[in-house]
């Protein structure tokens, strides 16, 4: 029997596949075109000037181009049907929108007076007629330093405040901050003395002792309420009930100013009256002491009512030393109200045209100051 031995199979090595080489030693096409233009002394782009010999940096060349009027924004104004369209092509591109068409500077009115309604700094408390805390004094001083950035040499600044300790102290610290920062800036401006104006007072409450600031009314409310709680004298007067609601919200951690803005109260000054007062005081200062800047240190309630009237919604409680800015425009008929990144143009009220809600009424419908006696 013949035996056949099997030979093991040895794999044949594969032939290596040669791939095409893709690397290139020449420059990319865009670089070749650039080198070619450089060799001919040309620059890329139609509007770009020839490269200076001194190798001026690009940012400086662009700046000089803008100064020389060689950019698209300074190009000649095109004509449309033979008439000047009053805008370059570049200006039309950057302002193209469906909603906002910016006015040119020659179409806008210049602001003649800047008014800042500043809330007072942090106070020691609202249950007494107290002044500012050390933090509140620092807040007011810093606000004055910030406002100094908008005060230029030759400007006059009128300083006004409400008739409360915290408002007056805020105005005084703002004034010191203004003076300090103007010295640092090297500017010479006239900063008036702090003067209290009754138009910028806090909203009032009618009490048995007459009209009182809501903080001043708290002391009387506390003493009278204690008598009612101890002795039980019967029904409480309206002013006591409404003040009790107001301060109850404050003590519970709520927002009493929202209550004042939205809840009708017979013994509290209405928000619209505070807005009217503020406008009257603003125009009084504008007429008596013309100047570029007016700073008014006052209270959050009237400030918030003013902003709500101007913007059409309640923007919220201003923080300590936060302000509402009013820019009176030339002509005295309109103004810009600025608060928390919102700008609203409003008409300056015509005080002679505002309604007299008591006209035609008689008897008890009139306030006591407008009637001689109550008919039987």
**pLDDT value of position 330:** 87
| Highest mean pLDDT out of 16-25, 59-68, 297-306 | 297-306
Q: How far apart are CA 96 and CA 91, in angstroms?
A: 8
Interval 134-138 mean pLDDT: 94
Of the candidates 230, 228, 229, 204, the one whose C-alpha atom is nearest the C-alpha of residue 216 is 204
Q: Report the pLDDT averaged over residues 20-25.
A: 73
> Percentage of residues in the chain with pLDDT exceeding 70?
78
Using 50, 70 and 90 to split pLDDT, how confident is the model at 376? very low
**Helix, strand, or coil (residue 163):** coil
CB 52 within 8 A of CB 64: no
Which is more confidently placed, 219 or 242?
242
Please say if the pLDDT value at position 167 is more than 60. Answer: yes
> Which candidate, 6, 136, 303, 105, places its Cα nearest to that of 295?
303
Domains and CATH numbers, the chain: 111-202+270-353 (3.40.50.1240), 205-262 (no CATH)
Query: How high is the pLDDT of residue 338?
Result: 94
Percentage of the chain modeled with pLDDT above 90:
44
Question: How confident is residue 105, by pLDDT bands cut at 50, 70 and 90?
Answer: low
Residue, of 211 and 20, whose pLDDT is higher: 211
**Lowest mean per-residue pLDDT among 177-181, 306-310, 331-335:** 331-335
Q: Which of 8-17, 110-119, 151-160, 315-324 has the lowest mean pLDDT?
A: 8-17
Reply yes or no on whether the pLDDT at 373 is more than 60.
no
Among the residue ranges 107-111, 123-127, 200-204, 299-303, the one predicted with the least confidence is 107-111
Read off the tokens for 111: 């602001």
State the pLDDT at residue 272: 94
Give the number of other Cβ atoms within 10 Å of residue 136's Cβ. 21
Q: What is the pLDDT of residue 58?
A: 80
How far is residue 171's CA from residue 168's CA, in Å, rounded to a whole number?
5
Residues 328, 335: Cα–Cα separation, whole Å: 4
Q: Which of 108-112, 275-279, 328-332, 341-345 has the lowest mean pLDDT?
A: 108-112
Give the per-residue pLDDT at 46.
Answer: 46
Q: 7 pLDDT band (50/70/90 cuts)? A: low
In this prediction, residues 53-57 reach a mean pLDDT of 73
What's the pLDDT band for 186 if we cut at 50, 70, 90?
Answer: very high
């Amino acid at each position: 029997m013949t035996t056949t031995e099997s030979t093991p199979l040895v794999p044949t090595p594969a032939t290596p596949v040669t791939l095409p080489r893709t690397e290139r030693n020449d420059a990319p096409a865009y670089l070749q075109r650039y080198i070619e233009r450089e060799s001919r002394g040309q620059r890329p782009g139609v509007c770009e000037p020839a490269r200076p010999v001194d190798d001026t940096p690009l940012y400086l060349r662009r700046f000089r181009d803008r100064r020389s009027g060689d950019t698209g924004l300074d190009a000649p104004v095109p004509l449309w049907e033979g008439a000047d369209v009053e805008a370059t092509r570049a200006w039309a591109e950057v302002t193209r929108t469906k909603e906002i068409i910016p006015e040119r500077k020659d179409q806008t009115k210049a602001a003649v007076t800047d008014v800042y309604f500043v809330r007072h700094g942090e106070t020691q408390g609202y249950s007494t007629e107290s002044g500012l805390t050390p933090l509140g004094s620092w807040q007011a001083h810093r606000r004055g330093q910030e406002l100094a950035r908008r005060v230029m040499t030759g400007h006059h600044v009128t300083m006004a405040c409400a008739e409360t300790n915290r408002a007056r102290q805020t105005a005084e610290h703002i004034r010191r901050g203004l003076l300090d920062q103007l010295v640092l800036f090297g500017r010479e401006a006239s900063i008036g003395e702090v003067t209290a104006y009754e138009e910028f007072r806090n909203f009032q409450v009618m009490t048995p002792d007459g009209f009182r600031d809501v903080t001043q009314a708290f002391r009387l409310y506390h003493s009278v309420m204690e008598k009612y709680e101890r002795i039980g004298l019967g029904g409480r007067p309206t002013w006591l009930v409404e003040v009790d609601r107001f301060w109850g919200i404050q003590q519970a951690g709520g927002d009493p100013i929202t209550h004042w803005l939205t809840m009708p109260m017979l013994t509290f000054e209405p928000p619209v009256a505070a807005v009217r007062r503020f406008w009257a005081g603003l125009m009084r200062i504008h007429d008596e002491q013309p100047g570029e800047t007016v700073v008014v240190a006052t209270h959050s309630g009237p400030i918030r009512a003013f902003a709500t009237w101007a913007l059409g919604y309640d923007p919220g409680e201003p923080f300590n030393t936060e302000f509402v800015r009013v820019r009176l425009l030339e002509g005295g008929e309109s103004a810009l109200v600025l608060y928390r990144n919102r700008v609203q143009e409003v008409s300056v009220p015509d005080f002679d045209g505002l309604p007299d809600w008591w006209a035609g009424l008689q008897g008890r419908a009139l306030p006591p100051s407008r009637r001689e006696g109550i008919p039987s």
